[in-house]
Structure 1
Amino acid sequence: LRAAQGFIDSIFALMNVPLRCPDYTSVSKRAKSVNVSFKTSTRGEIAHLVIDSTGLKVFGEGEWKVRKHGKERRRIWRKLHLAVDSNTHEVVCADLSLNNVTDSEAFPGLIRQTHRKIRAAAADGAYDTRLCHDELRRKKISALIPPRKGAGYWPGEYADRNRAVANQRLSGSNARWKWTTEYNRRSIAETAMYRMKQLLGDSLTLRDYDGQVAEAMAMVRALNRMTKA
Protein backbone atom coordinates (compact mmCIF):
# COMPACT_ATOMS: atom_id res chain seq x y z
CA LEU A 1 0.00 0.00 0.00
CA ARG A 2 2.88 2.38 0.70
CA ALA A 3 4.25 1.75 -2.78
CA ALA A 4 0.82 2.32 -4.33
CA GLN A 5 0.48 5.60 -2.42
CA GLY A 6 3.86 6.81 -3.69
CA PHE A 7 3.05 5.70 -7.24
CA ILE A 8 -0.25 7.62 -7.31
CA ASP A 9 1.38 10.71 -5.79
CA SER A 10 4.04 10.62 -8.50
CA ILE A 11 1.37 10.48 -11.21
CA PHE A 12 -0.41 13.48 -9.70
CA ALA A 13 2.92 15.34 -9.63
CA LEU A 14 3.65 14.55 -13.29
CA MET A 15 0.18 15.77 -14.25
CA ASN A 16 0.52 18.91 -12.12
CA VAL A 17 -2.68 17.97 -10.32
CA PRO A 18 -2.92 19.48 -6.81
CA LEU A 19 -4.08 16.26 -5.17
CA ARG A 20 -2.59 13.75 -2.77
CA CYS A 21 -3.33 10.05 -2.49
CA PRO A 22 -5.07 9.05 0.76
CA ASP A 23 -2.65 7.79 3.37
CA TYR A 24 -2.03 4.06 3.15
CA THR A 25 -3.21 3.59 6.74
CA SER A 26 -6.61 5.06 5.84
CA VAL A 27 -6.84 2.78 2.83
CA SER A 28 -6.01 -0.22 5.01
CA LYS A 29 -8.69 0.68 7.57
CA ARG A 30 -11.37 1.25 4.96
CA ALA A 31 -10.52 -1.84 2.93
CA LYS A 32 -12.37 -4.09 5.38
CA SER A 33 -15.68 -2.39 4.50
CA VAL A 34 -15.21 -2.64 0.72
CA ASN A 35 -17.38 -5.29 -0.89
CA VAL A 36 -15.59 -6.62 -3.96
CA SER A 37 -17.49 -9.06 -6.12
CA PHE A 38 -16.65 -10.45 -9.51
CA LYS A 39 -19.33 -11.04 -12.12
CA THR A 40 -19.19 -13.76 -14.72
CA SER A 41 -21.59 -14.70 -17.47
CA THR A 42 -24.95 -15.96 -16.25
CA ARG A 43 -25.79 -17.56 -19.58
CA GLY A 44 -24.52 -20.55 -21.44
CA GLU A 45 -23.71 -24.09 -20.43
CA ILE A 46 -20.42 -25.00 -18.80
CA ALA A 47 -19.21 -28.28 -20.23
CA HIS A 48 -16.43 -28.89 -17.74
CA LEU A 49 -15.93 -27.08 -14.42
CA VAL A 50 -12.59 -27.75 -12.69
CA ILE A 51 -12.09 -27.11 -8.99
CA ASP A 52 -9.08 -26.78 -6.69
CA SER A 53 -7.69 -24.68 -3.83
CA THR A 54 -4.42 -23.03 -2.91
CA GLY A 55 -2.91 -21.18 0.02
CA LEU A 56 -2.31 -17.44 0.32
CA LYS A 57 0.14 -16.19 2.92
CA VAL A 58 -1.02 -13.76 5.59
CA PHE A 59 1.95 -13.90 7.95
CA GLY A 60 5.36 -15.49 7.57
CA GLU A 61 7.65 -16.44 4.72
CA GLY A 62 7.92 -19.44 2.46
CA GLU A 63 5.65 -21.38 0.17
CA TRP A 64 2.39 -23.22 0.76
CA LYS A 65 4.06 -26.59 1.04
CA VAL A 66 6.78 -25.36 3.40
CA ARG A 67 4.25 -25.48 6.21
CA LYS A 68 4.03 -29.24 5.83
CA HIS A 69 7.77 -29.67 6.39
CA GLY A 70 7.86 -28.54 10.01
CA LYS A 71 9.04 -24.94 9.84
CA GLU A 72 9.11 -23.48 13.32
CA ARG A 73 8.19 -19.92 12.50
CA ARG A 74 4.51 -19.17 12.99
CA ARG A 75 2.52 -18.86 9.78
CA ILE A 76 -1.05 -17.91 9.02
CA TRP A 77 -2.70 -18.92 5.76
CA ARG A 78 -5.99 -18.45 3.98
CA LYS A 79 -7.31 -20.96 1.47
CA LEU A 80 -8.56 -19.70 -1.86
CA HIS A 81 -11.04 -22.04 -3.55
CA LEU A 82 -11.58 -21.65 -7.30
CA ALA A 83 -13.93 -23.19 -9.86
CA VAL A 84 -12.77 -22.59 -13.44
CA ASP A 85 -14.48 -23.08 -16.80
CA SER A 86 -12.02 -25.36 -18.57
CA ASN A 87 -13.00 -24.02 -22.01
CA THR A 88 -12.67 -20.28 -21.36
CA HIS A 89 -10.22 -20.47 -18.40
CA GLU A 90 -12.48 -17.99 -16.61
CA VAL A 91 -12.92 -18.26 -12.84
CA VAL A 92 -16.65 -18.89 -12.37
CA CYS A 93 -16.76 -19.29 -8.57
CA ALA A 94 -14.34 -18.23 -5.84
CA ASP A 95 -14.28 -18.32 -2.06
CA LEU A 96 -11.77 -17.56 0.69
CA SER A 97 -11.72 -19.60 3.89
CA LEU A 98 -9.62 -20.15 6.99
CA ASN A 99 -6.83 -22.68 6.59
CA ASN A 100 -8.60 -25.22 8.83
CA VAL A 101 -11.56 -25.49 6.43
CA THR A 102 -11.19 -28.58 4.25
CA ASP A 103 -11.71 -28.50 0.51
CA SER A 104 -14.79 -30.71 0.77
CA GLU A 105 -16.35 -28.46 3.42
CA ALA A 106 -15.95 -25.40 1.21
CA PHE A 107 -17.23 -27.17 -1.91
CA PRO A 108 -21.03 -26.77 -1.52
CA GLY A 109 -20.85 -23.03 -0.92
CA LEU A 110 -18.46 -22.65 -3.85
CA ILE A 111 -20.54 -24.55 -6.39
CA ARG A 112 -23.76 -22.76 -5.36
CA GLN A 113 -22.38 -19.42 -6.53
CA THR A 114 -23.40 -20.13 -10.11
CA HIS A 115 -26.80 -21.09 -11.48
CA ARG A 116 -25.54 -21.99 -14.95
CA LYS A 117 -26.03 -25.50 -16.21
CA ILE A 118 -22.89 -27.58 -15.71
CA ARG A 119 -22.38 -30.93 -17.39
CA ALA A 120 -19.45 -32.19 -15.33
CA ALA A 121 -17.26 -31.02 -12.46
CA ALA A 122 -13.74 -32.35 -11.84
CA ALA A 123 -11.88 -32.19 -8.52
CA ASP A 124 -9.12 -34.22 -6.86
CA GLY A 125 -9.48 -36.98 -4.28
CA ALA A 126 -9.85 -34.53 -1.38
CA TYR A 127 -13.40 -33.94 -2.63
CA ASP A 128 -14.32 -37.64 -2.55
CA THR A 129 -16.90 -37.22 0.20
CA ARG A 130 -20.64 -37.67 0.39
CA LEU A 131 -21.01 -33.95 1.04
CA CYS A 132 -19.50 -33.11 -2.35
CA HIS A 133 -21.21 -35.89 -4.28
CA ASP A 134 -24.59 -35.00 -2.77
CA GLU A 135 -24.19 -31.38 -3.86
CA LEU A 136 -23.32 -32.45 -7.40
CA ARG A 137 -26.30 -34.80 -7.51
CA ARG A 138 -28.57 -32.01 -6.28
CA LYS A 139 -27.44 -29.79 -9.15
CA LYS A 140 -27.49 -32.71 -11.63
CA ILE A 141 -23.78 -32.42 -12.40
CA SER A 142 -21.68 -35.44 -13.39
CA ALA A 143 -18.98 -36.04 -10.77
CA LEU A 144 -15.40 -36.51 -11.97
CA ILE A 145 -13.72 -37.15 -8.63
CA PRO A 146 -11.20 -40.00 -8.38
CA PRO A 147 -11.94 -42.39 -5.50
CA ARG A 148 -9.21 -43.02 -2.97
CA LYS A 149 -7.10 -46.16 -3.28
CA GLY A 150 -9.04 -49.19 -2.09
CA ALA A 151 -12.33 -47.25 -1.95
CA GLY A 152 -15.55 -49.20 -1.57
CA TYR A 153 -18.89 -48.80 -3.25
CA TRP A 154 -21.45 -46.44 -1.77
CA PRO A 155 -25.06 -47.60 -1.55
CA GLY A 156 -27.64 -45.32 -3.07
CA GLU A 157 -27.56 -43.01 -6.06
CA TYR A 158 -23.81 -42.55 -6.47
CA ALA A 159 -23.52 -43.99 -9.98
CA ASP A 160 -20.66 -41.73 -11.11
CA ARG A 161 -18.51 -42.60 -8.13
CA ASN A 162 -19.32 -46.31 -8.16
CA ARG A 163 -18.34 -46.52 -11.83
CA ALA A 164 -15.01 -44.93 -10.95
CA VAL A 165 -14.53 -47.44 -8.12
CA ALA A 166 -15.35 -50.34 -10.46
CA ASN A 167 -12.83 -49.06 -13.00
CA GLN A 168 -10.20 -48.73 -10.28
CA ARG A 169 -10.74 -52.33 -9.19
CA LEU A 170 -10.57 -53.64 -12.75
CA SER A 171 -7.46 -51.73 -13.82
CA GLY A 172 -5.70 -51.41 -10.46
CA SER A 173 -5.56 -47.61 -10.58
CA ASN A 174 -7.49 -44.51 -11.62
CA ALA A 175 -5.27 -43.87 -14.66
CA ARG A 176 -7.61 -45.33 -17.30
CA TRP A 177 -10.65 -43.69 -15.72
CA LYS A 178 -8.91 -40.29 -15.79
CA TRP A 179 -8.08 -40.71 -19.46
CA THR A 180 -11.55 -41.83 -20.60
CA THR A 181 -13.39 -39.12 -18.61
CA GLU A 182 -10.98 -36.27 -19.52
CA TYR A 183 -10.41 -35.77 -15.81
CA ASN A 184 -6.94 -34.44 -16.54
CA ARG A 185 -8.50 -31.16 -17.69
CA ARG A 186 -8.58 -30.41 -13.97
CA SER A 187 -5.00 -29.20 -14.33
CA ILE A 188 -6.50 -26.01 -15.79
CA ALA A 189 -7.54 -25.04 -12.25
CA GLU A 190 -3.92 -25.45 -11.13
CA THR A 191 -2.83 -23.32 -14.08
CA ALA A 192 -5.23 -20.55 -13.04
CA MET A 193 -3.78 -20.53 -9.53
CA TYR A 194 -0.23 -20.48 -10.87
CA ARG A 195 -1.05 -17.54 -13.13
CA MET A 196 -2.65 -15.60 -10.29
CA LYS A 197 0.33 -16.09 -7.98
CA GLN A 198 2.82 -15.18 -10.70
CA LEU A 199 0.93 -12.07 -11.83
CA LEU A 200 -0.65 -10.83 -8.59
CA GLY A 201 1.34 -12.44 -5.79
CA ASP A 202 0.83 -15.29 -3.33
CA SER A 203 0.03 -13.29 -0.19
CA LEU A 204 -2.62 -11.05 1.34
CA THR A 205 -1.53 -7.71 2.79
CA LEU A 206 -4.53 -6.99 5.02
CA ARG A 207 -4.86 -8.44 8.52
CA ASP A 208 -8.65 -8.12 8.88
CA TYR A 209 -10.48 -11.19 7.53
CA ASP A 210 -13.21 -9.21 5.72
CA GLY A 211 -10.49 -7.14 4.10
CA GLN A 212 -8.66 -10.30 3.07
CA VAL A 213 -11.81 -11.61 1.38
CA ALA A 214 -12.19 -8.37 -0.58
CA GLU A 215 -8.49 -8.44 -1.51
CA ALA A 216 -8.70 -12.04 -2.74
CA MET A 217 -11.84 -11.35 -4.79
CA ALA A 218 -10.14 -8.32 -6.34
CA MET A 219 -7.27 -10.60 -7.39
CA VAL A 220 -9.71 -13.06 -8.97
CA ARG A 221 -11.50 -10.25 -10.75
CA ALA A 222 -8.21 -8.93 -12.13
CA LEU A 223 -7.23 -12.43 -13.28
CA ASN A 224 -10.51 -12.79 -15.19
CA ARG A 225 -9.98 -9.41 -16.82
CA MET A 226 -6.50 -10.44 -17.98
CA THR A 227 -7.82 -13.79 -19.21
CA LYS A 228 -10.31 -12.03 -21.48
CA ALA A 229 -7.76 -9.53 -22.78
Structure 2
Amino acid sequence: MPHKHNASRRHRIGKMKFKVANWREYEAGLRRRGSLTLWLTPEALSGWAAPRRTTRGGQRHYSDLAIETTLMLGIAFGLRLRQSEGLLSSVLALMGLDLPVPDHTTLSRRARTWKPSAKRRAEPDAPLHVLVDSTGLKIYGAGQWLEEKHGAKSRRGWRKLHLALDADSGEIIAHALTDQDTSDASQVAPLLDQIDDEIGRFTADGAYDGDPTYNAVLRHSTEAKIVIPPRATAVARQEAEPVNQRDCHVASIQADGRLKWQASTGYGKRALIETAMSRYKGIIGRRLRARSCPTQLTEVAIGVAILNRMLICARQKSVRCKATTPATK
Protein backbone atom coordinates (compact mmCIF):
# COMPACT_ATOMS: atom_id res chain seq x y z
CA MET A 1 0.00 0.00 0.00
CA PRO A 2 1.32 3.50 -0.78
CA HIS A 3 2.06 6.10 1.84
CA LYS A 4 -0.80 8.29 3.01
CA HIS A 5 -1.36 11.76 1.72
CA ASN A 6 0.56 14.55 3.48
CA ALA A 7 3.06 12.01 4.85
CA SER A 8 5.63 14.71 5.59
CA ARG A 9 3.10 16.77 7.55
CA ARG A 10 1.06 14.09 9.27
CA HIS A 11 2.59 14.86 12.67
CA ARG A 12 0.45 18.02 12.66
CA ILE A 13 -2.76 16.15 11.83
CA GLY A 14 -4.61 14.94 14.89
CA LYS A 15 -5.32 11.23 15.18
CA MET A 16 -8.85 9.91 15.15
CA LYS A 17 -10.25 9.27 18.62
CA PHE A 18 -12.77 6.61 19.58
CA LYS A 19 -14.74 5.84 22.71
CA VAL A 20 -16.46 2.67 23.91
CA ALA A 21 -20.23 3.13 23.78
CA ASN A 22 -21.08 0.05 25.89
CA TRP A 23 -18.40 0.35 28.53
CA ARG A 24 -20.48 -1.04 31.44
CA GLU A 25 -21.47 -4.23 29.60
CA TYR A 26 -17.99 -4.60 28.11
CA GLU A 27 -16.29 -4.30 31.52
CA ALA A 28 -18.66 -6.87 33.04
CA GLY A 29 -17.97 -9.22 30.15
CA LEU A 30 -14.21 -8.89 30.60
CA ARG A 31 -14.55 -9.93 34.24
CA ARG A 32 -16.75 -12.87 33.26
CA ARG A 33 -14.03 -14.18 30.97
CA GLY A 34 -12.08 -15.19 34.07
CA SER A 35 -14.98 -17.10 35.60
CA LEU A 36 -14.56 -20.86 35.69
CA THR A 37 -18.28 -21.33 35.11
CA LEU A 38 -17.79 -19.88 31.63
CA TRP A 39 -15.68 -22.88 30.61
CA LEU A 40 -17.22 -25.56 32.88
CA THR A 41 -20.85 -25.40 31.78
CA PRO A 42 -23.75 -27.62 32.95
CA GLU A 43 -23.94 -29.07 29.43
CA ALA A 44 -20.36 -30.28 29.72
CA LEU A 45 -21.00 -31.85 33.14
CA SER A 46 -24.14 -33.65 31.99
CA GLY A 47 -22.32 -35.16 29.02
CA TRP A 48 -19.13 -36.01 30.91
CA ALA A 49 -19.31 -39.78 30.53
CA ALA A 50 -18.75 -41.27 27.09
CA PRO A 51 -21.67 -43.11 25.48
CA ARG A 52 -21.32 -46.87 25.44
CA ARG A 53 -19.91 -48.40 22.31
CA THR A 54 -21.93 -50.86 20.27
CA THR A 55 -18.94 -52.13 18.30
CA ARG A 56 -15.88 -54.08 19.31
CA GLY A 57 -13.18 -52.28 21.26
CA GLY A 58 -12.49 -50.76 24.63
CA GLN A 59 -15.00 -48.52 26.36
CA ARG A 60 -14.04 -44.88 26.71
CA HIS A 61 -14.44 -43.27 30.12
CA TYR A 62 -14.67 -39.65 28.94
CA SER A 63 -16.70 -38.10 26.16
CA ASP A 64 -15.22 -35.79 23.57
CA LEU A 65 -16.98 -32.92 25.36
CA ALA A 66 -15.12 -33.73 28.58
CA ILE A 67 -11.79 -33.77 26.75
CA GLU A 68 -12.67 -30.50 25.03
CA THR A 69 -13.64 -28.87 28.34
CA THR A 70 -10.39 -29.89 30.03
CA LEU A 71 -8.20 -28.77 27.13
CA MET A 72 -10.12 -25.51 26.80
CA LEU A 73 -9.72 -24.80 30.50
CA GLY A 74 -5.97 -25.35 30.26
CA ILE A 75 -5.42 -23.25 27.14
CA ALA A 76 -7.64 -20.42 28.41
CA PHE A 77 -5.57 -20.09 31.60
CA GLY A 78 -2.18 -20.92 30.08
CA LEU A 79 -1.70 -24.28 31.82
CA ARG A 80 0.03 -27.49 30.78
CA LEU A 81 -1.77 -30.82 30.78
CA ARG A 82 -0.79 -31.82 34.32
CA GLN A 83 -1.75 -28.41 35.70
CA SER A 84 -5.05 -28.57 33.80
CA GLU A 85 -5.74 -31.93 35.42
CA GLY A 86 -5.03 -30.50 38.86
CA LEU A 87 -7.14 -27.38 38.32
CA LEU A 88 -10.13 -29.38 37.12
CA SER A 89 -9.83 -31.80 40.06
CA SER A 90 -9.91 -28.95 42.56
CA VAL A 91 -12.84 -27.24 40.82
CA LEU A 92 -14.94 -30.42 40.76
CA ALA A 93 -14.11 -31.04 44.43
CA LEU A 94 -15.21 -27.52 45.37
CA MET A 95 -18.43 -28.03 43.40
CA GLY A 96 -19.09 -31.29 45.25
CA LEU A 97 -19.20 -33.35 42.06
CA ASP A 98 -17.95 -36.91 42.01
CA LEU A 99 -16.70 -36.95 38.44
CA PRO A 100 -13.46 -38.55 37.20
CA VAL A 101 -10.87 -36.21 35.77
CA PRO A 102 -8.93 -37.15 32.59
CA ASP A 103 -5.26 -37.60 33.35
CA HIS A 104 -2.60 -35.88 31.27
CA THR A 105 -1.73 -38.99 29.26
CA THR A 106 -5.38 -39.45 28.27
CA LEU A 107 -5.59 -35.78 27.27
CA SER A 108 -2.45 -36.06 25.16
CA ARG A 109 -3.67 -39.23 23.42
CA ARG A 110 -7.26 -38.08 22.82
CA ALA A 111 -6.12 -34.67 21.52
CA ARG A 112 -4.65 -36.36 18.43
CA THR A 113 -8.05 -37.60 17.26
CA TRP A 114 -10.38 -34.97 18.73
CA LYS A 115 -12.77 -33.33 16.27
CA PRO A 116 -14.37 -29.93 16.87
CA SER A 117 -18.08 -30.07 17.55
CA ALA A 118 -18.89 -26.37 18.12
CA LYS A 119 -21.12 -24.71 15.54
CA ARG A 120 -21.76 -21.08 14.76
CA ARG A 121 -23.84 -19.45 17.46
CA ALA A 122 -26.37 -17.87 15.07
CA GLU A 123 -27.35 -17.87 11.46
CA PRO A 124 -26.68 -14.55 9.71
CA ASP A 125 -29.59 -12.53 8.39
CA ALA A 126 -27.64 -11.43 5.30
CA PRO A 127 -24.77 -12.83 3.22
CA LEU A 128 -21.47 -12.89 5.07
CA HIS A 129 -18.60 -10.47 4.67
CA VAL A 130 -15.61 -12.80 4.97
CA LEU A 131 -12.11 -11.54 5.79
CA VAL A 132 -9.19 -13.91 5.23
CA ASP A 133 -5.54 -13.67 6.26
CA SER A 134 -2.74 -15.76 7.75
CA THR A 135 -0.12 -15.44 10.47
CA GLY A 136 2.82 -17.45 11.76
CA LEU A 137 3.00 -19.49 14.98
CA LYS A 138 6.27 -20.74 16.40
CA ILE A 139 6.81 -24.43 17.06
CA TYR A 140 7.81 -25.80 20.45
CA GLY A 141 11.59 -25.65 20.97
CA ALA A 142 14.54 -23.28 21.09
CA GLY A 143 14.74 -22.64 17.34
CA GLN A 144 15.59 -19.02 16.63
CA TRP A 145 17.25 -18.47 20.01
CA LEU A 146 19.97 -21.04 19.31
CA GLU A 147 20.62 -19.54 15.89
CA GLU A 148 20.78 -15.97 17.15
CA LYS A 149 22.70 -16.56 20.39
CA HIS A 150 25.09 -19.38 19.53
CA GLY A 151 25.05 -19.46 15.74
CA ALA A 152 23.69 -23.00 15.73
CA LYS A 153 21.61 -23.86 12.70
CA SER A 154 18.14 -25.01 13.67
CA ARG A 155 15.83 -26.92 11.38
CA ARG A 156 12.79 -25.93 13.38
CA GLY A 157 10.28 -23.96 11.35
CA TRP A 158 6.93 -22.52 12.13
CA ARG A 159 3.30 -23.15 11.29
CA LYS A 160 1.02 -20.88 9.32
CA LEU A 161 -2.44 -20.22 10.76
CA HIS A 162 -5.11 -19.27 8.20
CA LEU A 163 -8.25 -17.57 9.54
CA ALA A 164 -11.59 -16.56 8.04
CA LEU A 165 -13.50 -13.93 10.00
CA ASP A 166 -17.08 -12.72 9.87
CA ALA A 167 -16.65 -8.95 9.59
CA ASP A 168 -20.06 -8.19 11.10
CA SER A 169 -19.94 -10.37 14.22
CA GLY A 170 -16.15 -10.66 14.65
CA GLU A 171 -16.45 -14.45 14.94
CA ILE A 172 -13.80 -16.75 13.47
CA ILE A 173 -15.84 -19.00 11.18
CA ALA A 174 -13.05 -21.08 9.58
CA HIS A 175 -9.41 -21.88 10.21
CA ALA A 176 -6.59 -24.03 8.86
CA LEU A 177 -3.07 -24.86 10.00
CA THR A 178 -0.33 -25.60 7.47
CA ASP A 179 3.44 -25.62 7.23
CA GLN A 180 5.42 -22.50 6.51
CA ASP A 181 5.84 -23.22 2.78
CA THR A 182 2.11 -23.37 1.98
CA SER A 183 0.86 -20.38 -0.01
CA ASP A 184 -2.02 -18.30 1.29
CA ALA A 185 -4.10 -18.59 -1.88
CA SER A 186 -4.06 -22.40 -1.77
CA GLN A 187 -6.02 -22.37 1.52
CA VAL A 188 -8.92 -20.25 0.31
CA ALA A 189 -10.92 -23.25 -0.91
CA PRO A 190 -10.37 -25.31 2.32
CA LEU A 191 -11.49 -22.32 4.39
CA LEU A 192 -14.60 -21.76 2.29
CA ASP A 193 -15.49 -25.45 2.53
CA GLN A 194 -16.00 -24.90 6.27
CA ILE A 195 -18.56 -22.12 5.63
CA ASP A 196 -22.11 -23.18 4.77
CA ASP A 197 -23.60 -19.68 4.55
CA GLU A 198 -23.78 -17.47 1.50
CA ILE A 199 -20.88 -15.06 1.04
CA GLY A 200 -21.72 -11.54 -0.09
CA ARG A 201 -18.25 -10.00 0.10
CA PHE A 202 -14.75 -11.48 0.30
CA THR A 203 -11.82 -9.28 1.35
CA ALA A 204 -8.14 -10.22 1.51
CA ASP A 205 -4.74 -8.62 0.99
CA GLY A 206 -2.55 -8.71 -2.09
CA ALA A 207 -1.09 -12.14 -1.28
CA TYR A 208 -4.38 -13.67 -2.45
CA ASP A 209 -4.43 -11.89 -5.81
CA GLY A 210 -4.89 -14.27 -8.73
CA ASP A 211 -7.38 -16.45 -10.58
CA PRO A 212 -7.27 -19.36 -8.06
CA THR A 213 -8.70 -17.15 -5.32
CA TYR A 214 -11.37 -15.59 -7.54
CA ASN A 215 -12.41 -18.98 -8.88
CA ALA A 216 -12.65 -20.53 -5.40
CA VAL A 217 -14.81 -17.70 -4.05
CA LEU A 218 -17.12 -17.64 -7.07
CA ARG A 219 -17.57 -21.40 -6.94
CA HIS A 220 -18.83 -21.01 -3.39
CA SER A 221 -21.01 -17.94 -4.04
CA THR A 222 -21.51 -16.82 -7.60
CA GLU A 223 -22.72 -13.34 -6.60
CA ALA A 224 -19.89 -12.61 -4.15
CA LYS A 225 -18.04 -9.33 -4.47
CA ILE A 226 -14.28 -9.85 -4.18
CA VAL A 227 -12.05 -7.06 -2.86
CA ILE A 228 -8.37 -7.89 -3.31
CA PRO A 229 -5.77 -5.24 -4.26
CA PRO A 230 -4.10 -6.23 -7.53
CA ARG A 231 -0.37 -6.10 -7.95
CA ALA A 232 1.29 -2.80 -8.83
CA THR A 233 2.22 -4.21 -12.24
CA ALA A 234 -1.27 -5.60 -12.94
CA VAL A 235 -2.73 -4.86 -16.37
CA ALA A 236 -6.39 -5.18 -17.36
CA ARG A 237 -7.32 -7.69 -20.05
CA GLN A 238 -7.98 -6.80 -23.65
CA GLU A 239 -11.43 -5.53 -24.64
CA ALA A 240 -12.14 -8.72 -26.56
CA GLU A 241 -11.88 -10.83 -23.41
CA PRO A 242 -14.64 -10.90 -20.77
CA VAL A 243 -14.10 -8.34 -18.03
CA ASN A 244 -14.01 -9.72 -14.48
CA GLN A 245 -13.89 -8.13 -11.04
CA ARG A 246 -10.11 -7.97 -11.01
CA ASP A 247 -10.08 -5.99 -14.26
CA CYS A 248 -12.49 -3.50 -12.71
CA HIS A 249 -10.17 -3.08 -9.73
CA VAL A 250 -7.18 -2.51 -12.02
CA ALA A 251 -9.07 0.07 -14.08
CA SER A 252 -10.32 1.87 -10.98
CA ILE A 253 -6.83 2.11 -9.50
CA GLN A 254 -5.36 3.36 -12.76
CA ALA A 255 -8.07 6.01 -13.05
CA ASP A 256 -8.43 7.27 -9.45
CA GLY A 257 -5.44 5.91 -7.55
CA ARG A 258 -5.10 3.21 -4.94
CA LEU A 259 -6.20 5.29 -1.97
CA LYS A 260 -9.54 6.20 -3.53
CA TRP A 261 -10.00 2.58 -4.54
CA GLN A 262 -9.54 1.52 -0.91
CA ALA A 263 -12.14 4.02 0.26
CA SER A 264 -14.68 3.13 -2.44
CA THR A 265 -14.41 -0.65 -1.93
CA GLY A 266 -14.27 -0.63 1.89
CA TYR A 267 -10.88 -2.31 1.92
CA GLY A 268 -10.20 -0.81 5.35
CA LYS A 269 -12.45 -3.49 6.88
CA ARG A 270 -9.51 -5.86 6.49
CA ALA A 271 -8.04 -4.38 9.68
CA LEU A 272 -10.51 -6.53 11.63
CA ILE A 273 -8.75 -9.76 10.64
CA GLU A 274 -5.44 -8.22 11.73
CA THR A 275 -7.05 -7.51 15.10
CA ALA A 276 -8.28 -11.10 15.35
CA MET A 277 -4.81 -12.49 14.71
CA SER A 278 -3.33 -10.13 17.29
CA ARG A 279 -6.02 -11.25 19.76
CA TYR A 280 -5.14 -14.90 19.14
CA LYS A 281 -1.44 -14.32 19.82
CA GLY A 282 -2.12 -12.14 22.84
CA ILE A 283 -4.58 -14.54 24.54
CA ILE A 284 -3.68 -18.01 23.27
CA GLY A 285 0.01 -17.40 22.57
CA ARG A 286 2.53 -16.96 19.79
CA ARG A 287 3.90 -20.48 20.14
CA LEU A 288 2.27 -23.87 19.70
CA ARG A 289 2.63 -26.04 22.79
CA ALA A 290 1.86 -29.36 21.11
CA ARG A 291 4.63 -31.17 19.27
CA SER A 292 2.80 -33.42 16.80
CA CYS A 293 0.82 -32.04 13.87
CA PRO A 294 -2.55 -33.66 14.81
CA THR A 295 -2.31 -32.29 18.34
CA GLN A 296 -1.37 -28.87 17.00
CA LEU A 297 -4.52 -28.89 14.88
CA THR A 298 -6.55 -29.62 18.03
CA GLU A 299 -4.79 -26.85 19.93
CA VAL A 300 -5.59 -24.30 17.23
CA ALA A 301 -9.23 -25.43 16.98
CA ILE A 302 -9.72 -25.08 20.74
CA GLY A 303 -7.94 -21.72 20.71
CA VAL A 304 -10.38 -20.46 18.08
CA ALA A 305 -13.32 -21.77 20.14
CA ILE A 306 -11.98 -19.90 23.19
CA LEU A 307 -11.78 -16.62 21.30
CA ASN A 308 -15.32 -17.03 19.99
CA ARG A 309 -16.65 -17.76 23.46
CA MET A 310 -14.85 -14.72 24.86
CA LEU A 311 -16.39 -12.66 22.09
CA ILE A 312 -19.85 -13.75 23.19
CA CYS A 313 -19.12 -12.50 26.71
CA ALA A 314 -17.81 -9.09 25.76
CA ARG A 315 -17.40 -7.14 22.58
CA GLN A 316 -16.85 -3.43 22.65
CA LYS A 317 -18.72 -1.01 20.42
CA SER A 318 -16.41 1.81 19.47
CA VAL A 319 -17.72 5.06 18.06
CA ARG A 320 -15.63 7.85 16.66
CA CYS A 321 -15.53 11.04 18.69
CA LYS A 322 -16.48 14.24 16.96
CA ALA A 323 -13.55 16.40 16.01
CA THR A 324 -13.32 19.67 17.89
CA THR A 325 -12.19 22.71 15.99
CA PRO A 326 -9.67 24.94 17.74
CA ALA A 327 -10.97 28.25 18.98
CA THR A 328 -10.13 31.21 16.79
CA LYS A 329 -9.47 34.74 18.00
- Tell me whether the two structures share a fold, i.e. TM-score over 0.5: yes
Unmatched tracts of structure 1, length 5 or more: none
The aligned residue for residue 34 of structure 1 is 114
Compared with structure 1, are the counterparts of its residues 71 and 194 closer, same or farther at alpha carbon in structure 2 (3 Å cutoff)? farther
User: 1:107 is matched with which residue: 181, 188, 191?
Assistant: 188
User: 1:226 is matched with which residue: 293, 310, 327?
Assistant: 310
User: 1:7 is matched with which residue: 87, 92, 96?
Assistant: 87
Farther-moved stretch of structure 1 (156-165 vs 120-129):
156-165
User: 1:159 is matched with which residue: 224, 239, 244?
Assistant: 244
Q: Is the CA contact 1:32–1:214 (under 8 Å) kept in the aligned structure 2?
A: yes
CA distance in 2 between counterparts of 1:9 and 1:100 reads: 41
The aligned residue for residue 135 of structure 1 is 216
TM-score by length of 1: 0.85
- Any idea what the Cα deviations from partners look like across 1:11-57, whole Å, max 9, x if unmatched? 35656777774432331122101112431144432352111111222
**Secondary structure of the residue that 2:189 maps to in structure 1?**
helix
CA distance in 2 between counterparts of 1:217 and 1:11 reads: 24
**Secondary structure of the residue that 2:202 maps to in structure 1?**
strand
**Secondary structure of the residue that 1:106 maps to in structure 2?**
helix
Q: Is the CA contact 1:60–1:74 (under 8 Å) kept in the aligned structure 2?
A: no
TM-score by length of 2: 0.61
**Secondary structure of the residue that 1:59 maps to in structure 2?**
coil
Compared with structure 1, are the counterparts of its residues 17 and 42 closer, same or farther at alpha carbon in structure 2 (3 Å cutoff)? closer
The aligned residue for residue 209 of structure 1 is 293
The aligned residue for residue 87 of structure 1 is 168
Q: Residue 8 of structure 1: CA displacement?
A: 2.6
Which amino acid in structure 2 is aligned with residue 152 of structure 1?
Answer: V
**Secondary structure of the residue that 1:78 maps to in structure 2?**
strand
Q: Is the CA contact 1:45–1:116 (under 8 Å) kept in the aligned structure 2?
A: no
The aligned residue for residue 258 of structure 2 is 174
**Secondary structure of the residue that 1:54 maps to in structure 2?**
strand
Q: Residue 80 of structure 1: CA displacement?
A: 1.5
For the pair 1:197 / 2:281, whether they are aligned, the reply is: yes
Q: Is the CA contact 1:84–1:93 (under 8 Å) kept in the aligned structure 2?
A: yes
Q: Is the CA contact 2:127–2:198 (under 8 Å) kept in the aligned structure 1?
A: yes
Q: Is the CA contact 2:143–2:156 (under 8 Å) kept in the aligned structure 1?
A: no
Unmatched tracts of structure 2, length 5 or more: 1-80, 314-329
**Matched length:** 224
CA distance in 1 between counterparts of 2:232 and 2:134 reads: 22
CA distance in 1 between counterparts of 2:244 and 2:235 reads: 13
**Secondary structure of the residue that 2:83 maps to in structure 1?**
helix
The aligned residue for residue 33 of structure 2 is none
Which amino acid in structure 2 is aligned with residue 45 of structure 1?
Answer: A
The aligned residue for residue 46 of structure 1 is 127
Which amino acid in structure 1 is aligned with residue 233 of structure 2?
Answer: G
For the pair 1:186 / 2:264, whether they are aligned, the reply is: no
Farther-moved stretch of structure 1 (131-140 vs 43-52):
43-52
**Secondary structure of the residue that 1:217 maps to in structure 2?**
helix
Sequence identity of aligned pairs in percent? 35
CA distance in 2 between counterparts of 1:71 and 1:225 reads: 41
Q: Residue 157 of structure 1: CA displacement?
A: 4.8
- Any idea what the Cα deviations from partners look like across 1:139-161, whole Å, max 9, x if unmatched? 22111000011112246555221
Compared with structure 1, are the counterparts of its residues 158 and 184 closer, same or farther at alpha carbon in structure 2 (3 Å cutoff)? farther
